[in-house]
Structure 1
C-alpha cells in the first residue's frame, strides 16, 4: 500500500490509472518485472493536497480496514507549507510529530503491516536569505526530524529521499528532476522509486 499526498497520488483515480504515473507505479512495475510468478496486490491511496490531518480522518477506512502487509507513507511537505503560510489547515512540526505518532501507533496496534517511512523532500539548495526556498529548507529539518524519530520509535524502514535529491543536485540542475521544488517529473519519481527499492533490499 502506498499512502501519501500528490506525489504518491500522481494522477491516479480511474480504472486505467489506479496507481498513478509516479514512483508508486514505477515501484510496482519493477517488482512485477522481477517477480512475475508472484501474485501481489498493490493499492495506491495517496490523495493530492493531503496533510497528516487528512490522514488521521481517513486512516481507519483507507489503511486499517484494508489491513496491508506492507505500508509506505510519504507525507509532510503539505503540512510544512500550510504552517509556513499560516493557513487554517496549518500543521506545526509539533503537531506533525503527534499526528505521525498517532497514525503509526494505530497501525501497529491494529495491523501487522511492515511500515516504510519516506522522507518529505524539497528540491532546492537555495541559501538566499529571506527567500521562500531557504525558509522551506530550514523548516523542513523539523519535519524530517519528526520522521526520523518515528523510524527509531517504531523500528520502520526508512527512505531518505531528501538526502537522495540533495545528492543529485550536486551533479545536475533541479530542472532535470522537477519544474518546481515540490513535485518531481518522471526523472524525479525514478529517484524516489530507486531509493524505495533499495530500502526493500534491491
Structure 2
C-alpha cells in the first residue's frame, strides 16, 4: 500500500463504523523526533539501543508504540540537539531529517530562538525569519515525501528561575512563535500538540516548578504528560494508536 493510501486510511479508519478494535498499522512507518534539548533528552550518540531515544517524551512515545506493535517493524529516530534554534535545524535538515526519510515527523523548536533574542545573540532570528525558515523545512520534507505526517509541538516557557527576570520579553516572544507554529500547522495539515495547554491544566494540581523546573525544561512528570498528549493527538490521525 502506498504511503498516501496508508495515511488516508489510518486517518479515517473507524469513521462512521462501530469498530471495537482499532485498525492495525499497515506499513513499517519511520518516526522522527526533531528539536532542541527538550527532545534531545540527553540521548546517546551511538547505536546503543538502550540510550538512543534519550529520556524524555520522545523515549516514552517510542517505547509505547514499539512495545504495542513489535510486529509492525517501525523505526524511531531522535535527532533533537540541545541548544538548537530554527537556524540550527536548517543547517542539518538534509542529514538529520531528509536522509532519514520519515513518515511521521515530530518537531518541537522555538524556545532557544526566544532565548537568543533576549540575550541579543548575533544568531537571533526575528519571528518573521523563524516562520520563513520553519516553512522552508516543512516544504522540503513534503517535497521529499508528499504523504508525510507532521506533528508540530507548541513551544512553552514559564516564569521560573532566570525566566522570571525578563518575563514579559520571554512571554511575548514565545507567544509570537507559538502563533507561527499554529499557522504553519494549518498550512501543512499537521497535528498540533499543545503542550502549554497541558501544562496550564496540570499546574492547577501542582506548582509550576513541579512540571517545568527552570521555566523551560520539563521534569520527568511533565515529559510523561507530553508523551500522553502526543499519543492522544497523533492517535486522531493514526487511528491504530488508539
Asked if structure 1 preserves the Cα contact closer than 8 Å seen for 2:151 and 2:234, the reply is no
State how 1:10-159 maps to structure 2 within 5 Å. Answer: 10-13=41-44, 14=46, 15=48, 16-111=50-145, 112-124=147-159, 131-159=165-193
Q: CA deviation at 1:166?
A: 1.6
Question: Structure 1 CA distance, aligned partners of 2:159 and 2:194?
Answer: 15
1:159-191 alpha-carbon deviations (Å, 9 max, x no partner): 011121122123310121132110111101111
Deviating beyond 4 angstroms after TM superposition, the runs of 4 or more aligned structure 1 residues are none
Question: Structure 2 CA distance, aligned partners of 1:163 and 1:98?
Answer: 25
Show structure 2 runs of 5+ residues with no match. Answer: 1-31, 236-241
Question: Structure 1 CA distance, aligned partners of 2:72 and 2:186?
Answer: 31
Aligned residues: 199
TM-score (norm 2): 0.78
What corresponds to 1:198 in structure 2? 232
Structure 2 counterpart SS, 1:2: strand
Structure 1 counterpart SS, 2:152: strand
Bigger-Rg structure (1/2): 2
Question: Structure 2 CA distance, aligned partners of 1:171 and 1:123?
Answer: 16
1:4 aligns with 2:38: no
TM-score (norm 1): 0.92
TM-align CA RMSD: 1.7
Q: CA deviation at 1:131?
A: 4.1
Question: Structure 2 CA distance, aligned partners of 1:159 and 1:124?
Answer: 21
Asked if structure 2 preserves the Cα contact closer than 8 Å seen for 1:26 and 1:193, the reply is yes
Structure 2 counterpart SS, 1:164: helix
Structure 1 counterpart SS, 2:125: coil
Question: Structure 1 CA distance, aligned partners of 2:70 and 2:80?
Answer: 25
Show structure 1 runs of 5+ residues with no match. Answer: none
Asked if structure 2 preserves the Cα contact closer than 8 Å seen for 1:123 and 1:165, the reply is no
Q: Which stretch shifts more, 85-94 or 45-54?
A: 85-94
Among 190, 198, 201, the residue aligned to 1:164: 198
Asked if structure 1 preserves the Cα contact closer than 8 Å seen for 2:104 and 2:149, the reply is yes
Question: Structure 2 CA distance, aligned partners of 1:165 and 1:32?
Answer: 26
Structure 2 counterpart SS, 1:198: helix
